[in-house]
Structure 1
Amino acid sequence: MAEHRPALIIIDDDPLITDTLHFLLGKDFEVYVAESRAQAKSLLRQLEEPPSLALVDLGLPPVPHKPDEGFKVIGELLAHAPTMKILVLSGQNEEVNVKHALALGAVDFIPKPCNVERLRELLQNALKLQDAELGEELNAQDGCGLLGDSLPMQTLRTQIMQFADAPFPVLIEGESGSGKELVANCLHRLSRRSQQPYLSVNCAAISPTLAESILFGHGKGSFTGAANAHTGYFEDAGEGTLFLDEIGELPLELQAKLLRVLENGEYQRIGETQTRRSRARIVAATNRDLREEVRAGHFRIDLYHRLSVFSVRVPPLRDLEEDRYLLLEHFNNFYSRETAQKPFAFDDKAKQRWLGYHFPGNVRELRNIIIRLIAKYSGRLVTDVQLAAELDLMHAGITNNIVEASPATDDASMANQAYKHLQMQANVNLDQVLKAWERAYVDAAMKITHGNLSQAAKLLGINRTTLYSRIQLQQDFKGE
Structure 2
Amino acid sequence: MTLPALLIVDDDPLIRDSLRLILADEFDIHLAEDRPQAIRLLRDMASPPQLALVDLGLPPTPHRPEEGFRLITELLAHSPNIKVITLSGQNEESNARHARTLGAFEFVAKPCGPETLRALLRDALRIQQSEQTELADSKSLFGIIGNSQPIQAMRSQIELYAQTPYPVLIEGESGSGKELVAAALQRLSGKPDASYVILNCAAISPNLLESTLFGHAKGAFTGATNAQSGFFERAENGTLFLDEIGEMPQELQAKLLRVLENGEYQRVGEATTRKSNARIIAATNRDLKLAVRNGAFRNDLFHRLSIFTIQVPPLRNLGEDKLLLLEHFQGFYASQAQRPAFKLDPAALEAWKRYSFPGNTRELRNIVIRLTTKYPGAEVNVRQLESEFDPQPETTGSTQTDPSSEVRQILLQGGFDLDDMLMGYTARYIDTAMELAHGNVSEAAKLLGIARTTLYSRMEAIQKHKAQKVQ
Q: Which bin holds the TM-score, normalised by the shorter protein?
A: 0.7 to 0.9
Deviation at 1:140, TM superposition (A): 1.5
Deviation at 1:224, TM superposition (A): 2.0
Q: Using the alignment, how far apart are the partners of 1:93 and 1:332 within structure 2?
A: 28
**2:166 aligned partner:** 168
Q: Using the alignment, how far apart are the partners of 1:42 and 1:381 within structure 2?
A: 45
**1:194 aligned partner:** 192
Deviation at 1:144, TM superposition (A): 2.2
Secondary structure at the counterpart of residue 392 of structure 2: helix
**1:421 aligned partner:** none
Deviation at 1:272, TM superposition (A): 1.1
Secondary structure at the counterpart of residue 177 of structure 1: coil
Whether contact under 8 Å (2:195, 2:236) holds in the other structure is: yes
**What percent of counterpart residues are identical?**
55
Whether contact under 8 Å (1:88, 1:108) holds in the other structure is: yes
Q: 1:446 to 1:279 in 2, by over 3 A?
A: closer
Q: 1:439 to 1:197 in 2, by over 3 A?
A: closer
Give per-residue Cα distances to partners, 1:374-433, cap 9 Å, x unaligned.
1111101111111011100235xx68xx9xxxxx99xxxxxxxxxxxxxxxxxxxxxxxx
Confirm whether residue 344 of structure 1 aligns to residue 338 of structure 2: no
Q: 1:255 aligns with which of 241, 253, 256?
A: 253
Q: Using the alignment, how far apart are the partners of 1:19 and 1:448 within structure 2?
A: 40
Secondary structure at the counterpart of residue 282 of structure 1: strand
Q: 1:43 aligns with which of 41, 44, 47?
A: 41
Q: Count matched residues.
A: 427
- Give the AA of the match of 2:12: D
Q: Using the alignment, how far apart are the partners of 1:445 and 1:90 within structure 2?
A: 25
Q: Using the alignment, how far apart are the partners of 1:224 and 1:93 within structure 2?
A: 45
Whether contact under 8 Å (1:61, 1:69) holds in the other structure is: yes
Q: 1:20 aligns with which of 18, 22, 32?
A: 18
Secondary structure at the counterpart of residue 360 of structure 1: coil
Q: Using the alignment, how far apart are the partners of 1:182 and 1:452 within structure 2?
A: 32
- Give the AA of the match of 1:5: L
Whether contact under 8 Å (2:142, 2:184) holds in the other structure is: yes
- Give the AA of the match of 2:320: E
Deviation at 1:448, TM superposition (A): 6.6
Q: Using the alignment, how far apart are the partners of 1:385 and 1:307 within structure 2?
A: 46
**1:109 aligned partner:** 107
**1:212 aligned partner:** 210
Q: Using the alignment, how far apart are the partners of 2:251 and 2:245 within structure 1?
A: 13
Q: 2:221 aligns with which of 203, 223, 239?
A: 223
Give per-residue Cα distances to partners, 1:128-160, cap 9 Å, x unaligned.
000000000111154221110000000010000
Q: Using the alignment, how far apart are the partners of 1:143 and 1:260 within structure 2?
A: 32
- After superposition, residues 294-373 of structure 1 pair within 5 angstroms as 294-373=292-371
- After superposition, residues 88-167 of structure 1 pair within 5 angstroms as 88-140=86-138, 142-167=140-165
Whether contact under 8 Å (1:194, 1:240) holds in the other structure is: no
Whether contact under 8 Å (1:141, 1:186) holds in the other structure is: no
Deviation at 1:193, TM superposition (A): 2.5
Q: Using the alignment, how far apart are the partners of 1:133 and 1:172 within structure 2?
A: 23
Q: Using the alignment, how far apart are the partners of 1:22 and 1:39 within structure 2?
A: 17
Secondary structure at the counterpart of residue 218 of structure 1: coil
Secondary structure at the counterpart of residue 148 of structure 1: coil
Q: Using the alignment, how far apart are the partners of 1:286 and 1:27 within structure 2?
A: 38
Whether contact under 8 Å (1:96, 1:394) holds in the other structure is: no
- After superposition, residues 396-435 of structure 1 pair within 5 angstroms as none
Whether contact under 8 Å (1:193, 1:241) holds in the other structure is: no
Q: 1:236 to 1:445 in 2, by over 3 A?
A: closer
Q: 1:185 to 1:446 in 2, by over 3 A?
A: closer
Point out 4+ residue stretches in structure 1 off by more than 3 angstroms.
Answer: 443-446
Q: Using the alignment, how far apart are the partners of 1:98 and 1:44 within structure 2?
A: 24
**TM-score, normalised on structure 1?**
0.84
Query: Over aligned residue pairs, what C-alpha RMSD do you find?
Result: 2.8
- Give the AA of the match of 1:284: A
Q: Using the alignment, how far apart are the partners of 2:234 and 2:275 within structure 1?
A: 12
Q: Using the alignment, how far apart are the partners of 1:225 and 1:81 within structure 2?
A: 25
Q: 1:446 to 1:233 in 2, by over 3 A?
A: closer
**1:280 aligned partner:** 278
- Give the AA of the match of 1:138: A
Confirm whether residue 239 of structure 1 aligns to residue 229 of structure 2: no
**2:404 aligned partner:** none
Secondary structure at the counterpart of residue 209 of structure 1: helix
Give per-residue Cα distances to partners, 1:149-178, cap 9 Å, x unaligned.
000000010000000011110000001111
Larger deviation, residues 227-236 vs 77-86 = 227-236
Q: 1:380 aligns with which of 378, 381, 398?
A: 378
Whether contact under 8 Å (2:141, 2:187) holds in the other structure is: no
Deviation at 1:65, TM superposition (A): 0.5
Deviation at 1:12, TM superposition (A): 0.3
